[in-house]
Amino acid sequence: MILTRRTLLLVATATLAGCDRLGRNESVREALFSAENFHRWAQRSLMARDALAQEFRPDQISPIFRANGTANPNTPAYKALWRGGFADWRLPVTGLVTRPLSLSLAQLQAMPHRTQITRHDCVEGWSAIGKWRGVPLKAILEAAGLRDSARYLVFRCADDMGGGRPYYESIDRFDAFHPQTILAYALNDRPLTVANGAPLRLRVERQLGYKQAKYLMGIEAVASLDGIGKGKGGYWEDYAGYDWYAGI
């Protein structure tokens, strides 16, 4: 048996190419993608509904909170809002609610808030710790009278990801009513910068960074994610094949 480096390399490449081809097979893809359901089920079976993400001390905050994704939506509409100090910005809360809302930044800032120092975990692997202040989503949903038929909350964003596809994300009731799920308007005691999602971004602390939608322009309560974007529940879910459940 002659095992040279070259044959080993060839075997490795051939096996990987085989896996690659398997990864393009529709039923294999379905099986691989279904692992998400297992992880969601397993994690939620292991955690209490209100189990908190770890919170940190002020001295554990990252010196610089890395901004990722869109750094500035740069659309004419967004620029106009930014120039006006977001005084004309409104957050509509619509869909399956009994009392649709349209909230200004001042109204949000006047509501009871929660402050939390949490770790932001990017799907790429890095982490940054920051101090967030914002309104618990639960309070807004209660004010709007969320209907029982609403299963998901869809977050519409100001950033266009190209080709008229705006960023969006969605979460279900399990995370929507969690005490740490807030609509944040401040990071490290300062109003959100444009890079970090001004004027308002979502924090869902038990999931990865791409769920933390920035530049919020509206919240819609829906019964199903079908018909929104390509139906997978988020921009990266639709166009890059990311898992909707990002707890791992």
Alpha-carbon span 33 to 37, nearest angstrom = 8
Enumerate residues 87-146 that contact other proteins by CB under 8 A. 119, 121-129
71 lies in the binding site for other proteins (CB under 8 A): no
Nearer to other proteins, 93 or 208 (CB): 208
Q: How far is the CB of 232 from other proteins (least distance, A)?
A: 11
User: With left for phi above 0 and alpha for psi between -120 and 50, is residue 103 left, alpha or beta?
Assistant: beta
Other beta carbons within 10 Å of 111: 14
Identify the residue whose tokens are 């809002």: 81
Cβ contacts of 27 within 8 Å, gap of 6 or more: none
Asked if residue 146 lies in contact with residue 109, where contact means CB atoms within 8 angstroms, the answer is no
224 interacts with other proteins by CB under 8 A: no
Asked if 187 contacts 212 with a C-beta cutoff of 8 angstroms, the reply is no
Binding window for other proteins (CB under 8 A); candidates: 81-89, 157-165, 182-190, 233-241: 233-241
Question: What is the per-residue binding string for other proteins in 20-59, x denoting contact by CB under 8 A?
Answer: x--x-----x-xxxxxx-xx--xxx-xx---xxxx-x---
Pairing of strands 127-136, 152-160: unpaired
Residues interacting with other proteins, by CB under 8 A? Answer: 1, 3, 9, 12-13, 15-17, 19-20, 23, 29, 31-36, 38-39, 42-44, 46-47, 51-54, 56, 60, 62-64, 66, 119, 121-129, 205-208, 236, 240-243, 246-248
